[in-house]
Copies of this chain bind each other. A is one copy, B any other.
Amino acid sequence: MEFYCSQEDLLTAISVTQRGISSKTTIPILSGIMLKLTNENLFLKSTDLEITIEYKIPVNSITEGEVILPAKILTDIVRKMPKEDIHFCMTEDKNVKIKSSKIEIDLTGENTEEFPSFPKLPDSNILELPELRLKNMLKQTAFAVSSEESRPVLTGVLFEIKGSSLNLIATDGHRLAYKVAVLEKEPSEPLKVVIPKKAITELQRILIDDEEKYINIYVKDSIVFFVFDNVIFSSRIIEGKFPPYQQIIPNDNNTKIKVNTKDLQTSIERAELLSREGTRSLVKFKVSDILYLTSNTPNLGSLSEQLPVDKEGEDLEIAFNAKLITDCLKNIDVPEVYLEFSGSFSPCLIKPVIGEDYLHLILPIRTA
């Protein structure tokens, strides 16, 4: 294997690919990136056996071949190389020489025979949408995923096609995030898959903020593929039946307030500082023509504050885990939100005032 490639291109490729490697892997070969040079293209591959990443860059190819190199040191080295062409050359015993004008580095490579085989991309995609759109959808839902392994299906984000919309849903049993995107092109087949949080997190890091570039989604044999830029990103799907979330989203409300998003977030962050009642972080709402927030930590102190709101419907008292509300608000980027209540023991709905495509549901905490 021998090729020339610019330092910048190679660094981008390696930085993306190394996201597929688990720092906790106990299988030595999986802490490496596989490089394969064929047909004038360099393919970089990584996997933690749950997600796989494949990155393709065109290079100035001299001789084809393949090798596995340790990911961490390879990333560090290429990051610190000068911004000039890099000459990459492998000897027969899988040792690799990485050269630029004044630098020569030798790295010990490994045989590729034991590297896992990668799932094959299906022939046709199910849907496509702009990268930036998907990135925003993930941002508004992924945080609501459960971190408890007892119900695996809740540890991922549900991707679901309804008509010509893609819905993303995540819930941990205490809250639920729901985001809709109307697709420009009707999807080619139905879809209902739950994608693990880890895959979502890595995908968010790799996706770029580009409304012009499209990402294609494919599904086959319990594997989902995201194809974009030079990347094929795949993940296993979580098996199991996602709970029937539509039933718990209330259609009516008895109380509805409109409030400034940032002001509410700041107020709750402040209330959270003095909200430790035992193990719970409790903020109480008294909804009237003004919103009163109170919190209390025994032996430390207490807080009360007022927030101007537009209210429709009945007065109400209700209490929440402060963090669940701030998690939601910090992912909403419109200036005002609605909060809708049906009673002190019923879930609260949070919706942006502009846009019909997002809603968030939070269960209250019963206080004595």
Interface residues, chain A, with chain B CB atoms under 8 Å away: 70, 73, 76-77, 80-82, 102-108, 266, 269-270, 273-274, 299-307
**Given A306-B102, A307-B102: A108 in contact with B300 (beta carbons within 8 A):** yes
Q: Whole-angstrom distance between the alpha carbons of A61 and B25 in the complex?
A: 62
Q: Which residues of B contact A102 (CB under 8 A)?
A: 305-307
Whether B303 contacts A273 by the Cβ 8 Å rule is no
Q: Which residue of B lies closest to A96 (CB)?
A: B301
A8 → chain B, closest Cβ, in Å? Answer: 16
**Given A80-B270, A270-B80, A273-B80: A73 in contact with B306 (beta carbons within 8 A):** no
Q: Which residues of B contact A80 (CB under 8 A)?
A: 266, 269-270, 273
Whether A108 contacts B305 by the Cβ 8 Å rule is no
Q: Whole-angstrom distance between the alpha carbons of A266 and B80 in the complex?
A: 7
Whether A76 contacts B300 by the Cβ 8 Å rule is no
**Given A80-B266, A266-B80: A73 in contact with B104 (beta carbons within 8 A):** no
Whether B73 contacts A303 by the Cβ 8 Å rule is no
- The contact of A270 among B103, B299, B300, B307, by CB within 8 Å, is B103
**Given A80-B266, A266-B80: A106 in contact with B273 (beta carbons within 8 A):** no
A274 → chain B, closest Cβ, in Å? Answer: 7
Q: Whole-angstrom distance between the alpha carbons of A299 and B102 in the complex?
A: 23
Q: Whole-angstrom distance between the alpha carbons of A77 and B76 in the complex?
A: 41
Whether B106 contacts A301 by the Cβ 8 Å rule is yes
Q: Whole-angstrom distance between the alpha carbons of A273 and B266 in the complex?
A: 44
Whether B302 contacts A106 by the Cβ 8 Å rule is yes
**26 A-B residue contacts at CB 8 Å?**
A70-B300, A73-B273, A73-B274, A73-B300, A77-B270, A77-B273, A80-B266, A80-B269, A80-B273, A81-B270, A82-B266, A102-B305, A102-B306, A103-B270, A103-B303, A103-B304, A103-B306, A104-B303, A104-B304, A105-B274, A105-B303, A105-B304, A106-B301, A106-B302, A107-B300, A108-B299
Q: Which residues of B contact A301 (CB under 8 A)?
A: 73, 105-108
Q: Whole-angstrom distance between the alpha carbons of A102 and B303 in the complex?
A: 11
Whether B273 contacts A104 by the Cβ 8 Å rule is no
Q: Whole-angstrom distance between the alpha carbons of A80 and B274 in the complex?
A: 12
